[in-house]
Amino acid sequence: MPVPKRKRLHHHLKPVVLLLCLLPLAVLCVQTLSNNLGANPAEALIRSTGLWALRFLCLALAITPLRLLARLPILASFRRMVGLVAFTYACLHLLAYAWLELGFTAAALWQDAVQRPFITLGLLCWLVLLALAATSPARMVRTLGGKRWQALHRWVYAAGILAMLHFYWMRAGKHDFAQVWLYGVVIAGLLLYRLLRRWGWLRRHRKD
């Protein structure tokens, strides 16, 4: 039986998209090995991995609106992969922070979380992403049941909000909000789109 054209296209595009998603990590590795991360390499690694985690989380949230608005059903096949990439960068962000700032000391992590609320928000966001990544395989849909699986994976929006609050609170200490507002607008817009669809407003008022 011949493979549908759209499925063949998906199989060709998926490795390309994955390589593009991992390109920032490759650049960071090259910069680390060549000692080209600036005056504070530890801070550069922590911030860069966190920023890329936020970017890919925004992209994962944007895939469904883009798929519906552009009428490109093939985009749905990339959402899981992009979500896992966001989780990977979030893990690297947490690893870099725990290693380079705390020396893998659990007591120091607990104390930092208590004293700095934005650390608590970041850890909560990572836990939500962990739950989503652990239940992303197709077999988990059968295990949890479709409705419960969908309800759980709606928490990706909570992860987006937590990530944004973590980012905002971290930048607030240095009064640096240039990028905060950009990502805040993106996440707020995606959340608003989700709510409008859930309430049926977009279906009632869409003219096309």
Place of tokens 């609320």: 117
pLDDT in tens, 118-128: 999 999 999 99
For the residues 21-43, what does the mean pLDDT come to? 93
**Cβ atoms 165, 135 nearer than 8 A:** no
Of 33, 29, 88, nearest to 57 (Cα)? Answer: 88
Supply the DSSP symbol for 162: H
Residue that is written with structure tokens 């990530």 in the block = 163
Residue 13 predicted with pLDDT over 90? no
CB 179 within 8 A of CB 164: no
Taking only the tens place, the pLDDT of each residue in 167-205 is 998 888 777 778 888 999 999 999 998 888 877 765 544
Half-sphere exposure of 181 (CA within 13 A, CB side): 4
The reported pLDDT for the residue numbered 207 is: 43
Q: How many CA atoms lie within 13 A of 208 on its CB side?
A: 5
What digits encode the pLDDT tens for the residues 76-119? 889 999 999 999 999 999 999 999 999 988 889 899 988 988 99
Q: What is the pLDDT of residue 4?
A: 56
Upper half-sphere CA count for residue 4 (Cβ side, 13 Å): 4
Mean pLDDT of 9-35: 90
The pTM of this model reads: 0.89
In sequence order, which residues have a C-beta less than 8 Å from that of residue 177 and are 6 or more positions away? 168, 171
